[in-house]
A and B are shown apart, each in its own frame.
Chain A
Amino acid sequence: MRYLLRRLAQTIFVVVVVTFLTSVALRFIPGGNEVIIALKTGPGANPEQAEAVIHELGLDRSVIAQYVMWVGDFVSGDWGQTFQTNQSIATEFKRALPVSAYLMVYSQVIALVLAVPVALLSAYRQNSRFDRLASTATFGMLSLPNFIVAPILVLLFSVQRHWFPFPSIYHGLWDSPLDHIKAFALPSITIAIPLYAGYMRVLRADVIGTLQSDFITTARAKGVSTGALLLKHALRPSLFSLVTSAAVQIGALMGGVVIVESYFSMNGMGRVTVEGIFKKEYTTVQYGVALIALVYLAVNLLVDLTYAWIDPRVRRARAMG
């Protein structure tokens, strides 16, 4: 319990610092307030307009007051408009969120569904031909950055074979499931490849360790079949690192797949934020960074709770600590 409270306090601290930094970042923009005013009102703003802009962003107040105001806006969802195109920032992120979420879920599912059986088999038949093949392939995938995989996949399956549209056009899952899947297939696979590689390596190593434990011999001496041995006895005690890395990836994927989103022209959280940087839409960047960071932190906090489920020993240690 004390441990959880400590983690909670830590997370809250980080949330405060991160949002504080993003909120005051406006003050350190190269070019200063003039740039913001110019962006907002177009060239040649009159002093009243300029003042209105400055006031709206809280740049005329103290740092603390600006932060409080910003947090208020952030929580209430009143995120204002983009500087140049006058669009609602909130709406933009509302559209981006499902794109990122789908990408994250699909790539995670692909990576995990492949990694778990391959890792189990690889570990069970350590150094077998299958294991060596799988391990080598995994190693290769680890060295394949997104921006190499994406063009190749597009070349193979969109240009030469026209199976998937390029660039991807977003379709809701319920509006047109087939188009939805087609749109998300290539980007999800691209993200899943290095993800799979990481998971497979982590799980394989852990399963190899678990398989050497005494309780596996006990289970074997009970006459348990290989499948049950791996799934019932070896898998769960080996999940610790896998769950950690998979969970950390949830947070990382929500905003960290800028390259894939950009290449496939999908407006996810990462791309919207990065475009914000490029187009000097500083408020968009603020909210984007804050959102992504919050998701990341929330997920990491949840991971700690999940540990308890995987390993009852932790449950007790935490309960007592």
Chain B
Amino acid sequence: MSSTDVPVIDDPDAPEVPLAALPTKKVKVRRRGRVAKWLAIAWLVFMTVSAIGANSLPYIPHECSGSTSTCSTAIKGDILTKRELPPSWAFWVDPVNPVLPGKPTHHGLMGTDSNGRDIFARAMLGARNSLIIAGLAITIGLAFGTLLGMVAGYFRGWADTVIENLTNVMLAFPPLLLTIFVVTFFNKPDTAEAAQRPLWPIILALVVLSIPPLTRLVRANTIAYAQRDFVTAARSLGAKRGRILFREILPNIVPTLVSFALTGMALLIIAEGGLAFLGQSVELPIPTWGKMIAEGKEKLRAGAWWISLMPAATMFLTLLSINMLGDVLSQRFNTREAIA
């Protein structure tokens, strides 16, 4: 309303302070949220660093240098023990099947899996594939979704009709089935057993999954902004469509998009995990989190909970951080909008 720095409400009749607001408490809460926010960011940075530099990071146990495929503890496992060892802090767990006397009975931060591979190392390495897959997919999806949504929302008419109906059709297919279908379709039937399945079918599947909701979001926002005065003003000044779309409307949608994309990325990590859980994700020397959880689920019932739950915890914390960040962003954006 007015550009005064004193929060006087111009409406002559509005109560002087928002009566239902709880000002002092809010300050406190915000500080609380800030700690959580920084923790979330710290965790994500940690994960990203691990994903990029896992081969040479001091906190990841490795007996190798160079290519990851030669890393024995993380990838090939300890041939000698070849059994699951509980994490070293899990003092209450008796190690399963103590065959070799003299060998350690507990191992590392997260224990080892049935092949004697260090789970912590694998979980850190796993961040790479999980984050690459979800991150790439959401980025590509975002590009397509933004383009389609802005075209539909700004030009309306037949373009809108076509895009809207396409979106509806895509949304009607059950998402997980769609991804499984795409993945199996591109993993040629007889290579299913082959040791390596490529990354791109699953990324494609997740892109397909992410486009419709992103398109809808962008479309709705574009429609809202296209009617705002500043767009009308730009148009009346003779700005070209492209300029209006990318310089006037897009910058306003970006905050919403970013927070939505973060939530979307969390969902895609989950989707990838689900695929892996059903045995349909990538087959790479380095697993994704979903795959590790899936691999451990049989042993879970046998008492070796850490094989499944340690990567699960890693994944959970990552999802939590991403969600939290998305939430912080969307809240921040909302308050800005409220001010404007």
Chain A residues in the interface with B (C-beta under 8 A): 10, 13-15, 17-18, 21, 30-31, 35, 126-127, 132, 139-140, 142-148, 151-152, 154-155, 159, 166, 211-212, 217, 252, 255-256, 258-259, 262-263, 270, 273-274, 277-278, 280, 285, 288-289, 292-293, 296-297
Contacts and interface: CB of A to CB of B under 8 A. Distances in A.
B29 A127 contact: yes
Interface of B (DSSP majority class)? helix
A211 B20 CA distance: 8
B205 to A, nearest CB: 12
A289 B290 CA distance: 25
Contacts of B184: 277-278
Contacts of A212: 18, 20
A149 B266 CA distance: 16
B312 A270 contact: no
B303 to A, nearest CB: 8
Contact of B323 (A139, A255, A256): A139
Interface residues of B, number: 47
A292 B177 contact: yes
Nearest to A159: B301
Contacts of A35: 189
Given A14-B168, A151-B309, A280-B189, 17 more contacts: A10-B164, A13-B165, A17-B169, A18-B169, A126-B22, A127-B29, A144-B316, A147-B293, A148-B315, A148-B316, A151-B312, A166-B301, A217-B19, A256-B174, A256-B177, A278-B184, A297-B172
Given A126-B22, A262-B278, A255 B189 contact: no
A212 to B, nearest CB: 5
Contacts of A126: 22
B305 A155 contact: yes
B176 A146 contact: no
Contacts of A217: 19
Given A17-B169, A18-B169, A35-B189, A151 B323 contact: no
B308 interface: yes
B324 A274 contact: no
B174 A252 contact: yes
A178 to B, nearest CB: 23
